Amino acid sequence: MIRGTWRDTVRLAALVAAAFVLAHDLVFLLSDGRAVGIALARTGHGDPWTGTVVVVSAVALGLGLLGAYRLFRLARLARELEAGDLAVDAGRPADLARHIGRSWLVILPAALILFVGVENVEHLSVGLPAPGLAVLGSSQYHAVGVVFALVALLAACVDGLYLWRRDLLVARIEAARARHLRRPTAVVRLGLPWLDRHHGSTTGHRISGRAPPGFALA
């Protein structure tokens, strides 16, 4: 799942940010109910937090559209190559589970680290003492572990499904190209006229060895 390319890094970063924002607001909603707005304002979640939510949502939506467009292009190429009926070593349920598991193990701890860091910074910004790691288990924050685990799992499912589908299409495209390269090339026989394959010097020698016509001796 983690291939080290810049696309993978950007995709995972966007998923981590989206999981963090969603889980963060769900934790406050579960903890404070209808007074969630007051609780957010009291702990330093003002206009900057609103802007963060908007930006993260826009980035996540944009990357989702780009991912869907890439899958669409791969699917169209696979259809053009008639690769849909090829059996490949990809697209198995175990591959999907592996992608989801690996993504979840990246997204969950990263989102929790963001949550702890942001909460401490926001408390300090309004003059409150930094709660430290207590945000993960204090009475002020309800079910942090459960909420973040479920939200991270949702994000991992999105990432895993994308990778699973992408790998399947790429494998089929590569198999179709390999099949095309292995296909025997038809030999085109040109209808060339009959050619004398004797060397030119032999023919010239025969001509030069003949006696000249009788009129030439006259």
pLDDT digits (tens, 9 = 90+) for 73-94: 998 888 887 766 666 777 788 9
CB 12 within 8 A of CB 2: yes
Domain that holds residue 133: 6-182
Is there a domain that residue 44 lies in? yes
**Model confidence at 137: pLDDT above 50:** yes
Could you read off the pLDDT of 4-33 as tens digits, one per residue?
A: 588 888 999 999 999 999 999 888 888 767
Which is more confidently placed, 97 or 131? 97
Judge whether 62 lies within some domain. Answer: yes
- pTM here is 0.74
Count of structural domains within the chain: 1
* Residue 138 placed within a domain: yes
pLDDT in tens, 95-118: 999 999 999 999 999 999 999 998
| Paired tokens of 37 | 């707005």
Cα separation of 152 and 23, whole Å?
8
| Residues 25-48 pLDDT 10s | 888 888 767 766 776 777 667 777
Q: Answer whether residue 111 is part of any domain.
A: yes
- CA angle 167-156-34, nearest 5°? 150
Over range 162-178, report the average pLDDT. 87
* Mean pLDDT, residues 209-217 taken together: 48
Tell me whether residue 210 is in a domain.
no
**How distant, in Å, are the alpha carbons of 84, 131, 167 from that of 49?**
46, 18, 37
Q: Is residue 86 situated within a structural domain?
A: yes
In this structure, is residue 199 part of a structural domain? no
Q: Is residue 204 part of a domain?
A: no
